[in-house]
Amino acid sequence: MISYPNAKINLGLNVVRRRPDGFHDIESVFYPVPWRDILEIVPAKEGRGEVAFTSSGLEIPSDGNPNLCERVYSLLHKEFGLSSIKMHLHKIVPIGAGLGGGSADAAFAATMLNEMFELKLTADKLEQIVGQVGSDCPFFIQNKPSYVTGRGEVLESFDLELSGYWIMLINPKIHIGTKEAYEGIQPIETSNSLQNELQKEMGEWKDVVLNDFEKSIFPKHPIIKGLKDDLYAQGANYASMTGSGSTVFGLFGEEPIWKKKDGFETKIVQL
C-alpha cells in the first residue's frame, strides 16, 4: 500500500497565550498543499508488533527515538495487536521547515494501517491517536482547510477555497528549532478574529493575516525576510513564513516565474 503525505501552510499564526503545561495556545488556519512524501507499508511475512522502518530521500534527523510513523504503529498495535509490517518513507518535503511533513507522514500511516488491518476507526478516533504523537498530526487525517486552536490539535472546518491560485514555496534550508522560534515571542490575545480577517479580499491580508514567529525569526535570519520581500516584488497577492519557519510561500493569481537560487528548495504548483 502506497500513499503520498502532503504538506500544509499556515495562513496566519497567532501565539495567544502560554499554557500551564509549558506549551502555547495558538490560532491559525492550516491549508493543505501538494508537496508530497511517499510512504509505503506492506505486511511482514511473520510476527506481531514489529515494524521494519527504512527511509530514503532527505536524511531524517534522529533523536534516538522511533520515527513518528513507527510510534503511530506502536500505539495501534498496543490497542489492536497488529501483525508486523515493513514501512518505507521516501522523504521529499523539507524537514523542520514549518510544512508539517513529519506530522503528515504519521497521520497518513495511521490512515493506511486503519485500512490495511480493517480496524474501521472513525476520523475522530484516528485524530485522537495521532494527537499523541504530535500536535499538528490530527489535521492531516481529514486534510482539509481548518481553523486551528489549542496546541494545534483543536480543529474546526474552515470554508476557504484557494483552488486556481498558484503557490510558490521556498525553503532556504535553515532549520528553526522550537526553542529558537519561541524566543522573543510575546503571546497576545487579540480581539481581531483570524477567521474574519481571512474573509477579506486576499489583497488585504498582508497587514492583518500575520505570523507571530516572523517577529523573532526575521531579525535572526534576514535571508528569510528577504525571500518574503522577493515574493511580494514578484507580484504575490499574499506572502508569509509558514509555521515557525523557515519556509516562506507566496500566493499568485497566475503562474509565477522564479529564477532559481542556489541552496534553496523551491516548489511552484497550482492549488
Which residues are designated catalytic?
Answer: 8, 136
Residue 120's alpha-carbon distances to 69, 84, 117, 176, 266, in angstroms, are: 19, 19, 9, 38, 38
Contact 33, 8 (CB under 8 A): yes
Q: Which residues pair with 147 in a beta bridge?
A: 29, 156
Contact 235, 203 (CB under 8 A): no
Please provide the DSSP assignment of 103-172 as one string. HHHHHHHHHHHHHHTT----HHHHHHHHTTT-TTTTHHHH-S-EEEETTTTEEEE-----TT-EEEEEE-
Rounded distance, CA 188 to CA 168, Å? 30
Q: Which residues pair with 56 in a beta bridge?
A: 90
Backbone angles phi, psi at 214, to 5 degrees: -60, -30
Query: Which residue reads 499538528 in cell numbers?
Result: 136
Contact 11, 244 (CB under 8 A): no
